[in-house]
Structure 1
């Protein structure tokens, strides 16, 4: 469900092109895409065959507007193919004739409106699903649920996961950015410590800069404590290891 919601823009854009441009050559192209969705080795093969067909078709399209529309159509498909699941979902939408992709926008807004709710209250989420059950039922086949799995509780757990990810996902990305910056900072920090250790006060005449606090040290010390276990001494993120997450 999350993959479908994340890709809603591409689904809707693809649908809009198919509805607006209905010429014979466009119809042939759409039919080719539908067959290709069901029969391609991998995403790279999908893109290659799609591009070959586009190159062959464009000279047969009459107007510049229609050519641009078909090129955009292929662009949306290529974006969707960044994840094989995106192509599978498009294929399922077509197989079950669920051409109204706007339901994904409605569902996305529904989940966005959960922002102020207690997402750990599963009973509340089940109640919300029950009030909007027809919307979820339309997606049952697309997201691959059988009759037994298609329950309010199942959909409630799905929207709980998506809403929690949306709520905390940005914080996770920001934290990753912080870790990346600290890793870049750590190497010169170690070099400064090494220089200060080698050229000690009393043996050498130190410049004033030696006594100044190292920029960023407060942030580093704060997260160094948070990212280690005091009892075991385990370090969850070692800034000296560039490839560690």
Structure 2
């Protein structure tokens, strides 16, 4: 009897080993091309993770900066009292930041007025119109100029092509101007316009609005800039001081309405104050905000790669494949994504 039991136990043991060996033998290897593709993605996400860790800062968690981000997010999400204000706020922010460029363009047009120089100014307006002229809206018919995002330009904006047009026309007209001063003025003018031709079209869009409006003195931008500077020493979490400043300078905001395209239904002291509060906070946190939004852009790219890697790994489950070591490595910077997930969702694709 003992011999029979021993034989059965021995048979079972070897049988189990055979099954294990059989299970292992049916596992496939991950195709070499897939391993190469995975490792390429992993190398890219490691680079982005390193950049993200460098950009990440403790200053992003400070209450005042988080207050600014909450307001910026409300503009972007178009919610609550910020509904319908984002485009106007961004236009005005850029207008103030680039005021020296706009003022230089305006002063050149006023000072140098030969027929050939005027021809170039007219040409700039012509190509701006080709890029940004849109179907009239109800607000435009009521006397307010608007260049809104909701109505796309006639063709896709390209800063490279825009600059090529500027330079081509500049060479043509410059050759007909005899005085060196006139040539230099036109060169400076073209250079100023080119500075507005960045990847985002908002600077040129503003120039188009300025040229189409009946505002003849853009020095009001300097006054608005002074207001923003004044607010740097104030507690911007309290809107009362901002509203008082708007009330004292209401005529400035009435004029600037034509530039930022604020609909008539939004022309209130409260809305002007919300915009001015945002401009003050943007100036106060300018450096941190630039770094934070760069982080958001990097983390959006990171998330795209993360999704690709996770989807790739799902194709090769450990139960069916002999996984290379790279397939079991943790993806770096997950903790950064989790920390800012809500903000990445809002801002990641905007940058």
Which TM-score applies when normalising by structure 1? 0.70
Aligned counterpart, 1:87: 204
Cα separation, 1, equivalents of 2:241 and 2:93: 20
Cα separation, 2, equivalents of 1:157 and 1:119: 10
Displacement of 1:141 in angstroms is 2.0
Mark the CA change 1:71 to 1:168 in structure 2 (over 3 Å): closer, same or farther. Answer: same
Structure 1 residue 130 and structure 2 residue 221: aligned?
no
Structure 1 residue 21 and structure 2 residue 102: aligned?
no
Cα separation, 2, equivalents of 1:107 and 1:76: 21
Structure 1 residue 235 and structure 2 residue 335: aligned?
yes
Mark the CA change 1:45 to 1:173 in structure 2 (over 3 Å): closer, same or farther. Answer: closer
> What is the aligned counterpart of 1:75 among 173, 187, 191?
191
Larger Rg: 2
Aligned counterpart, 1:218: none
Displacement of 1:134 in angstroms is 0.5
Aligned counterpart, 2:280: 163
Displacement of 1:110 in angstroms is 1.1
Mark the CA change 1:146 to 1:52 in structure 2 (over 3 Å): closer, same or farther. Answer: same
What is the CA RMSD across the aligned residues, in angstroms? 2.5
Displacement of 1:51 in angstroms is 0.9
Structure 2 unmatched runs, 5+:
1-91, 132-154, 295-332, 339-343
Q: How many residues were matched structurally?
A: 186
1:1-245 aligned at under 5 Å gives the runs 1-40=92-131, 41=155, 42=157, 43-82=159-198, 83-172=200-289, 235-236=335-336
Cα separation, 2, equivalents of 1:98 and 1:45: 29
- Asked whether the equivalents of residues 196 and 204 of structure 2 are also in contact (C-alpha less than 8 Å), the reply is yes
Q: What do residues 46-78 of structure 1 show as CA deviations (whole Å, max 9, x unaligned)?
A: 211111100101110111111111011000000
Structure 1 unmatched runs, 5+:
178-227, 229-233, 239-243
Cα separation, 2, equivalents of 1:175 and 1:91: 30
Cα separation, 2, equivalents of 1:77 and 1:7: 11
Which TM-score applies when normalising by structure 2? 0.49
Q: What do residues 122-161 of structure 1 show as CA deviations (whole Å, max 9, x unaligned)?
A: 1221121011011011111211111111111111111111
Say which structure, 1 or 2, has more relative contact order (CA 8 Å, 6+ apart).
2
Mark the CA change 1:158 to 1:57 in structure 2 (over 3 Å): closer, same or farther. Answer: same
Displacement of 1:173 in angstroms is 5.3
Mark the CA change 1:174 to 1:142 in structure 2 (over 3 Å): closer, same or farther. Answer: closer
Cα separation, 2, equivalents of 1:176 and 1:32: 35
Displacement of 1:45 in angstroms is 2.4
